[in-house]
Structure 1
Amino acid sequence: MTSPGDLVIDPSIRSRLQQGHPWVYRNHLIGGERLRTGQWVRARCGGLTVYGLYDAQSPIGLRIYSRHDFPNQQWFRERVWEAWELRAPIRASGQTTAYRWIYGEGDYLPGLVVDRYGDYAVIQTYADSIQTIVPIVANTLRAVDPELRGVVQRPRQNDDDDQAQPILLWGEWPPRNLVVQENGLFFQVDMLYGQKTGLFLDQRENRRTLEGMVAGASVLNCFAYTGGFSLYALRGDAVEVVSCDVGHGLAEATATNIALNHLPADRHRFVTDDCFALLDHYARQGRTFDVVILDPPSFARTRSSQHAAMRAYVRLNALGLRCVTPGGLLVTASCTAQIGPEQFRELLGEAAAQAHRRMQIIHEAGHPLDHPVPAGFPEGRYLKYVIARVQTLV
């Protein structure tokens, strides 16, 4: 490790740090002018001392790892092992081989996630500074699970470099057509170039919850990607499932997943289109479904985009509500971290008013077990998931 640096943190945020918040924004740091991105630093905030990685580019100038000392190899092994043990019930089920092994701040390794697909692990980082710990995390994954066959790293999600490619950190490359299991369903995933790291793992249990509510129903699944919710709906005995997504090749990928599971392809249709446009078209036609699923990508990456995201959620859900058969279900989600659960419910209320519908929330959830959230880090709870019964106004 290179020589550590020293910083001073504005004492006004001391209580937040004492509660375990892992981020310090640049405007709360004093004395970082000569520090380098990825350098370990000791930072003092009043009588509190914390240890973390400095970042000269990110708005988050310091990510905190420890309040006792600079992390060493044993410290990383303990964090990775704790994360491994937390996921033991998922592995014990024998029906799921894809899950999030390390959820960054949620597992006390800020800025880094590790997803497990079968016998392979894929690492992603969310800031340049985190590259400092990637080699030691990769080696620790191997030590904790000897059955691991390969560890790869995906480029950062906001990396604008078209030449950025996945990197093999250890072992063998995963196959491009790797098949994994989720609650007994089979999915073909592309760990190297697919969205996220191949699957939207955070919706795993929410998909299973919906499965028990769709028997005999017609279902519209918007932002379907490779058909996650659609497969669960078909297994749940829905009589008709329409999937919609604008992405190239997603119709074929969904068809592959349906075939892998021997599900009734005659009950499914994929529409390659903009979901807002399709919902507007169906609403104008008076076309309705017993269940409408809205699981869009994030509408805001920064706080400055929050207002536009709120408008987008109201418009999307108002359109979706108009496409639900009276007495049917709206299944709606938000992965925008800048909008909290209470705000999301308020937006749904506004959407219901615009659509002239009544909404009764009958189920509300967030993350599954493999996406833990520290009590002192509310920003970590980005996922909101609501199932509501929809009726006409009286």
Structure 2
Amino acid sequence: MSLHVIYLPRELGKQIQQGHPWIYRDSLPEQVSLPSATWVQVRCGKLVRYGLWDAQSPIAVRLFSSQQVPDGTWIAERVREAWELRAPLRNQGITAYRWVYGEGDGIPGVVVDLYAKYAVIETYADSVETLVDWVVTALRACAPLRGILLRRGGVRSLWGREPPRDLIVEEHGLRMHVDLFAGQKTGLYLDQRENRRYLEEWCAGRRILNCFAYTGGFSLYAVRGGADQVVSVDIAPQTAQVARDNLSLNGFDPDRHPFVIEDCFKLLDTYAAQGERFDLIILDPPSLARSKKSRHAALRAYGRLNQAAMRCTLPGGLLATASCTSQVSPQAFRDMLGAAAAQVGRRMLILHEAGQAMDHPVPAHFPEGRYLKFVLGKIEQAL
């Protein structure tokens, strides 16, 4: 196979050698005119890598291998390795998890989530669409699946049966409804699984406000953890009934734990003005920045959101706050929290920090892959 060769400046050698899987378009020393999904050889000094070219994305090349142009067998090996890595989750009875996490599992731009016997593939670039058939074959070879879906600008079936709209999965002893044809992500926020379980231990006897609740994952753990009451808030009306159904499915009374359909920013401001206070507030908003250019706007929005939540937290209460915006670093997130606390006359004492669950592995030299920040802090009056 004759490959187009892209020569990179030597200053990129260190990041390539250490395993960073992306070559940004503005790093290219030459104009390259190739159709998307073209395999290329990248050379940087003595380093050689093989990757997929993308004609449109800011990420011009996604690097896959230092040895060969990947084929179906190569993809199958990566999928099998990813399957084996998640064995501890299956041993715990967890039936919903991320089977393939793109760059972390050696298949950049491709994500696969497993829900019971159904796999959902999601691609993040036009260039990697060419890999989907190989991925489908590899998934079927690993596990006794009933169906495989593709989520990209919509959801469609690729193989097997379509999943029921009321599919039920299990997570740390809790059961949850999942509709794989609707909603956000590929069905659940799988990256927060271990953070939900961790926070459960802090919920006994507390009145809790769960903002951006979606279908109530954090709420469900909080109720099992002994919360006196959990108020769940989300702007999407269709999530309320699913959250109530999840409580009922696990033997809890949904009437004790109300669901409010409202914009969380507005509701927090209203609660703050009305003097409504909670023992624990959970903030798990969607990403607030899609590019580096919007990073500062995202930090301002996070600041406003966390200030409002701190105003609504009882003295000595807890704030569990998260960001899934990859453009915001962990240090920038901490700095924002400190500034937000100062703005409202509070002090935030950080008790715990975490990221995404283990089914979202990240190469050590790929900070973009560790996108999730989760912080639990005690909110006190400023000294």
- The normalised TM-score by structure 1 is 0.95
CA distance in 2, matches of 1:242, 1:253: 15
What corresponds to 2:15 in structure 1? 16
Which residue of 307, 310, 333 maps to 2:299? 310
Residue 31 of structure 1: how far off its partner (Å):
5.2
CA distance in 2, matches of 1:180, 1:100: 13
CA distance in 2, matches of 1:305, 1:24: 21
Amino acid at match of 1:384: K
SS at match of 1:74: helix
Contact preservation (8 Å) 1:115, 1:121: yes
Residue 6 of structure 1: how far off its partner (Å):
2.3
User: Are residue 74 (structure 1) and residue 73 (structure 2) matched?
Assistant: yes
Contact preservation (8 Å) 1:244, 1:270: yes
Amino acid at match of 1:97: T
> CA-to-partner distance for each residue in 1:208-262, whole Å, 9 max, x for gaps?
0111111010000000000011111111110111000101211111111111111
Which residue of 298, 304, 308 maps to 1:319? 308
Residue 184 of structure 1: how far off its partner (Å):
1.1
Amino acid at match of 1:8: Y
CA distance in 1, matches of 2:2, 2:97: 36
Contact preservation (8 Å) 1:112, 1:124: yes
User: Are residue 229 (structure 1) and residue 206 (structure 2) matched?
Assistant: no
Contact preservation (8 Å) 1:7, 1:32: no
Contact preservation (8 Å) 1:230, 1:243: yes
Which residue of 116, 122, 125 maps to 1:124? 122
SS at match of 1:129: helix
| Pairing of 1:84-233 with structure 2 (within 5 A) | 84-94=83-93, 96-145=94-143, 147-155=144-152, 159=153, 165-233=154-222
Moved more, 124-133 or 186-195: 186-195
SS at match of 1:358: strand
Residue 3 of structure 1: how far off its partner (Å):
5.6
User: Are residue 297 (structure 1) and residue 286 (structure 2) matched?
Assistant: yes
Contact preservation (8 Å) 2:112, 2:122: yes
| Pairing of 1:276-291 with structure 2 (within 5 A) | 276-291=265-280
CA distance in 2, matches of 1:280, 1:27: 42
Q: Which runs of 5+ in 1 are unaligned?
A: 160-164
Moved more, 383-392 or 264-273: 264-273
What corresponds to 1:273 in structure 2? 262
Q: Which runs of 5+ in 2 are unaligned?
A: none
Residue 293 of structure 1: how far off its partner (Å):
0.4
Which residue of 343, 353, 374 maps to 1:354? 343
Residue 182 of structure 1: how far off its partner (Å):
1.1
> CA-to-partner distance for each residue in 1:16-69, whole Å, 9 max, x for gaps?
010000000112225563311011111111111110100000010000000111
Amino acid at match of 1:153: L
Aligned residues: 383
Structure 1 residue runs of 4+, over 6 Å off?
Answer: none
CA distance in 2, matches of 1:354, 1:181: 41
CA distance in 2, matches of 1:103, 1:253: 27
What corresponds to 2:82 in structure 1? 83
SS at match of 2:258: strand
CA distance in 1, matches of 2:181, 2:140: 19
Contact preservation (8 Å) 2:76, 2:134: no
Amino acid at match of 2:162: W
What corresponds to 1:29 in structure 2? 28
User: Are residue 371 (structure 1) and residue 369 (structure 2) matched?
Assistant: no
CA distance in 2, matches of 1:193, 1:10: 44
- What is the root-mean-square deviation in Å for CA atoms of aligned residues? 1.2
Which residue of 372, 377, 380 maps to 1:388? 377
Moved more, 67-76 or 323-332: 67-76
Q: Does the C-alpha gap of structure 1 residues 32 and 121 become closer, same or farther in structure 2, counting only changes over 3 Å?
A: farther
CA distance in 2, matches of 1:11, 1:176: 52
Residue 190 of structure 1: how far off its partner (Å):
1.2
Identity %: 56
CA distance in 1, matches of 2:225, 2:142: 37
CA distance in 2, matches of 1:31, 1:301: 27
CA distance in 1, matches of 2:119, 2:71: 22
CA distance in 2, matches of 1:37, 1:290: 52
CA distance in 2, matches of 1:305, 1:33: 28
SS at match of 2:242: helix
CA distance in 2, matches of 1:288, 1:183: 30
CA distance in 1, matches of 2:228, 2:237: 26
Amino acid at match of 1:154: R
Contact preservation (8 Å) 1:234, 1:264: no
Residue 82 of structure 1: how far off its partner (Å):
1.1
What corresponds to 1:162 in structure 2? none
Residue 265 of structure 1: how far off its partner (Å):
1.8
